Chains A and B, each alone.
Chain A
């Protein structure tokens, strides 16, 4: 694995000048990932923050070939590109080596794009699907998704007088993808860049579909100061709300274990979307969240032994 110094000399495939919000984790994630690719790449984007902010006609932020089709179908779109690649190679009309990446947010992946993702995984296309998970529909103005944490305020799960934010726990998407028995599945965080880039390298080497779910803190959606994005990602890992692990050919492995597991509250208290949970009448929701984080962490440890 090349070090940071070496990577910093590499030409970036996502140029500056895109319109992502200050402090957004998504472009940090995309750049870390694309620096790990050694071949030509074609990137597919689901409709979402990354897509609308990087392709405002007549400009594009992408130095590699890039395709946006619609919201729910980046997996099927990139599977078509990958199939065309195999067809053209087979027929001797293309020599160059390519890898295929798809980027979708949690809305485009956990929710509306889940069927297309499942289909593409099952068909075995050699592609790396990245979910940059900012835990709500941020592009349309912070609506809840099936990745939004319990109790979080969003514009469609508002903290009201009667209902204190989102009522449900997030879906375990990484586990769902792992159940497809594809060669490589992982969960990562931009705060642990070496862990992330190692995972990307493994994913791109995998002969078949690979998937990495990456926590992507969002200052306007999570309501915290812009300069704390990487800290927000790190705290999600340190609390074991967002454990770092991989499933390589069916073998589960935790790739980072916090020295001292922090309480969920140390992460949630820094974000305005959880503010209402600190009112006495809502404290039980924080407790419920902690119990579920602990249960899922234990379950992951069991799978990884």
Chain B
């Protein structure tokens, strides 16, 4: 039986981890992830899990120990944010390329400098090419559900890739909401027991991990990794459907909100989608055909699916909570443009960079986005595709 608790996003993710009861968790404190691991440490101390918790001396070692534990044959998890993710960068890539199904909540926070502990997506966006599946959460409920589903996605035999579950720092990690959680037994049953592929700890079959590859093999080892990422798309949908049988909420690759007859659409990752929903409702009341596309899965990027959903719209705004310096727009914008271009969908696309370093994205900021979209929908003309939202200039 499901029950509803008042939980912060960090607590919701920690609850998911408690119900998963992984074999090994490595932890190192960083704001705003700290509260998650504190909660999980409580679960360990109180015997709610029998996970072995390694309290390492850095994030680099957190990911290194998680890699060691996962290769050994354990279900292993860690969590981090911002500079912590940046410090473990080297091993983030190694985890993915060693095909280890690690699950890691990332509490999105701005990267230094200047040092800033508040939300943006520069940390997870920075490792969008690392080979990790990336699932973004709008709220604490999704942080809970995504963390549980991530285990099944990562460990699927056609995938075997690590999964990053992101939630917006402070906005979600420290905001308290009603979260409906499953029984521990239901979660245990859902995730099942981990079946490692080639564990180090198999006395009958010793294995070597981390061999050196040269020009003669490296490329051949990258291709199946790319294929596994592609396979993940179907697995994410399948796992989402299976989970929906437990709680009645199905999470897909993205959520299309009032999209069917929409003419103007914003595309958003994370908590700001929750701010945009009432704006869409208000515009609809005024007879304006506004829609919202909340992207849940950024890696693998559902390009064809998005292009299909966006086809026939009059104007699109992509909201990016990270800058890709020197690039043609933010990371999400570039991906959306590529998806549309290659599928022959020609719609004006605006890019809004917003929310860096915790800068608020309020209702009125989102209204401004839709206003611009309305003008473009009328005129078909884009003067300046790149916009900075809620910035003093």
For A122, list chain B residues within 8 Å (CB): 57
Once the chains are docked, how many angstroms separate the CA of A118 from the CA of B69?
A: 19
Which of A49-57, A196-204, A216-224 lines the interface with chain B?
Answer: A49-57
* Residues of B204-237 contacting chain A, CB below 8 A: 206-214, 217
Contact B60 A84 (CB under 8 A): no
Chain A residues near B50 (CB, 8 Å)?
90-91
Interface residues of B in 65-86 (CB under 8 A from A): 65-74, 76
Q: List 19 additional contacts besides A80-B68, A84-B74, A88-B23; criterion CB under 8 Å.
A: A42-B72, A57-B212, A65-B201, A67-B68, A67-B208, A69-B64, A69-B210, A73-B64, A76-B60, A76-B65, A78-B68, A79-B54, A80-B71, A83-B69, A87-B74, A90-B52, A115-B57, A116-B61, A118-B57
Interchain Cβ contacts under 8 Å between A and B, 25 examples: A42-B72, A42-B200, A44-B68, A55-B210, A57-B214, A58-B217, A62-B206, A68-B210, A68-B211, A76-B60, A76-B65, A79-B61, A79-B68, A80-B68, A80-B72, A81-B200, A83-B54, A83-B68, A83-B74, A84-B74, A85-B201, A94-B201, A116-B61, A119-B61, A122-B57
CB pair A67–B209 under 8 Å, yes or no, is: yes
Flag whether B48 is at the interface (Cβ < 8 A): no
- A72 / chain B contacts, CB cutoff of 8 Å: 60
Q: In whole Å, how far is B371's beta carbon from the nearest beta carbon of chain A?
A: 50
> Interface centre among B50, B54, B68, B69, by most A CB within 10 Å?
B68
B68 cross-chain contacts in A, Cβ below 8 A: 44, 67, 69, 76-84
A251 within 8 A of B: no
Task: List chain A residues, Cβ under 8 A from B61.
Answer: 73, 75-76, 79, 115-116, 119-120
Q: Does B94 contact A (CB under 8 A)?
A: yes
What's the minimum C-beta distance from A132 to chain B, rounded to whole angstroms? 18
CA of A123 to CA of B52, assembled, Å = 12
Q: Distance (Å) between the CB of B222 and the closest chain A CB?
A: 13
- Bound together, the chains give a CA A84 to CA B26 distance in angstroms of 11
Q: Interface of A with B (CB < 8 Å)?
A: 40, 42, 44-45, 51-52, 55-58, 60, 62-70, 72-73, 75-88, 90-91, 94, 96, 98, 115-116, 118-120, 122-123
Q: Give the CA-CA distance A75 to B57 in the complex, in Å.
A: 11
Q: Does B24 contact A (CB under 8 A)?
A: yes
Q: Name A80's contact: one of B54, B55, B207, B217 (CB within 8 Å).
A: B54
CB <8 Å contact, A83 and B52: yes
In the complex, what residue of chain B is closest to A95 when comparing beta carbons? B203
Question: Nearest Cβ distance between residue A37 and chain B, in whole angstroms?
Answer: 13
| Residues of chain B within 8 A of A70, CB atoms compared | 64, 90-91, 94
Q: Shortest beta-carbon distance, A104 to chain B, in Å? A: 13
C-alpha spacing A296/B256, complex, angstroms: 72
- Determine whether the beta carbon of B211 is less than 8 Å from that of A57: yes
Contact with A along B293-330 (1 / 0, CB 8 A): 00000000000000000000000000000000000000
What is the CB-to-nearest-CB distance from B76 to chain A, in angstroms, rounded to a whole number? 7
| Cβ–Cβ contact B208 & A60, under 8 A | yes
* B23 to A: closest C-beta gap in Å: 4
Q: Does B377 contact A (CB under 8 A)?
A: no
Interface positions of B from 33 to 74, Cβ below 8 Å from A: 50-52, 54-58, 60-61, 64-74
Of B52, B64, B73, chain A has the most CB atoms within 10 Å of the CB of: B64
Contacting residues, chain B, for A60 (C-beta < 8 A) = 208, 211
User: 10 nearest interchain CB pairs?
Assistant: A80-B68, A119-B57, A68-B210, A80-B65, A84-B72, A84-B74, A76-B61, A73-B64, A76-B64, A60-B208
Within the assembled complex, what's the spacing in Å between the Cα atoms of A69 and B209? 8
> Which A residues are CB-close (under 8 A) to B69?
80-81, 83-84, 87
* Distance of B79 from chain A, by nearest CB (Å): 15
Q: Is the CB of B206 within 8 A of A64?
A: yes
Tell me, yes or no, whether B202 is within 8 Å of chain A by CB. Answer: yes
- In this complex, the interface size class of chain B, counting residues with CB under 8 Å from chain A, is 35 or more
Tell which of A52, A80, A119 touches B24, judged by Cβ atoms closer than 8 Å: A80
Residues of A close to B66: CB separation below 8 A? 80
Distance of A72 Cα from B58 Cα, bound (Å): 12
Instruction: Assess the A55–B211 pair: CB atoms within 8 A.
Output: yes
Q: Which residue of A lies closest to B210 (CB)?
A: A68
- Chain B residues with CB under 8 A of A68: 209-211
B67 touches A69 (CB 8 A): yes
Contacting residues, chain A, for B212 (C-beta < 8 A): 51-52, 55-57
Who on chain B is nearest to A58 by CB?
A: B217
User: Shortest Cβ distance from B383 into chain A, in angstroms?
Assistant: 48
Given known contacts A62-B206, A87-B51, A67 and B57 CB-to-CB distance under 8 angstroms: no
B209 near A87 with CB under 8 A, answer: no
CA distance A44 to B69 in the complex (A): 12
Contacts of A81 in B (CB 8 A): 68-69, 71-72, 200-201
Q: Tell whether, in the assembled complex, residue A83 and residue B24 are in contact, meaning their CB atoms are under 8 Å apart.
A: yes
On whether the beta carbons of A65 and B202 are closer than 8 Å, the reply is yes
Known: A52-B212, A64-B206. A116 touches B76 (CB 8 A): no
Query: Could you tell me if B201 and A84 are in contact, using CB atoms closer than 8 angstroms?
Result: yes
Chain A residue contacts of B26, Cβ below 8 A: 80
Rounded to whole Å, the gap between the CB of B26 and the closest CB of chain A is 7
Q: Given known contacts A70-B64, A70-B91, A73-B64, is B203 in contact with A96 (CB within 8 Å)?
A: yes
Q: Which residues of A contact B60 (CB under 8 A)?
A: 72-73, 76, 116
Q: Which residues does chain A contribute within 8 Å of B58, judged by CB atoms?
A: 115-116, 119
Is there an interface contact between B65 and A77, defined as CB atoms closer than 8 Å? yes
From known contacts A80-B64, A81-B69, A81-B200, infer whether A86 and B52 are also in contact, taking CB-CB under 8 Å. Answer: yes
- B76: which A residues are within 8 A, CB to CB? 80, 84
Contacts of B24 in A (CB 8 A): 80, 83-84, 87
Give the distance to chain A from B200, nearest Cβ to Cβ, in Å.
4
Q: In whole angstroms, how far apart are the Cα atoms of A91 and B194 in the complex?
A: 12
Q: Quote the shortest CB–CB distance from B45 to chain A (angstroms).
A: 16
Given the known inter-chain contacts A80-B66, A119-B61, please indicate yes or no for A73 contacting B91, CB distance below 8 A: yes
Q: Which residues of the partner chain B approach A40 to less than 8 Å between Cβ atoms?
A: 203
Q: Least Cβ distance of A89 to chain B in Å?
A: 9
B207 near A65: Cβ-Cβ < 8 Å: yes
Distance in angstroms between the alpha carbons of A56 and B215 in the assembled complex: 12
Q: Is B210 a contact partner of A83 (Cβ separation < 8 A)?
A: no
Alpha-carbon distance A77/B306, docked complex (angstroms): 39
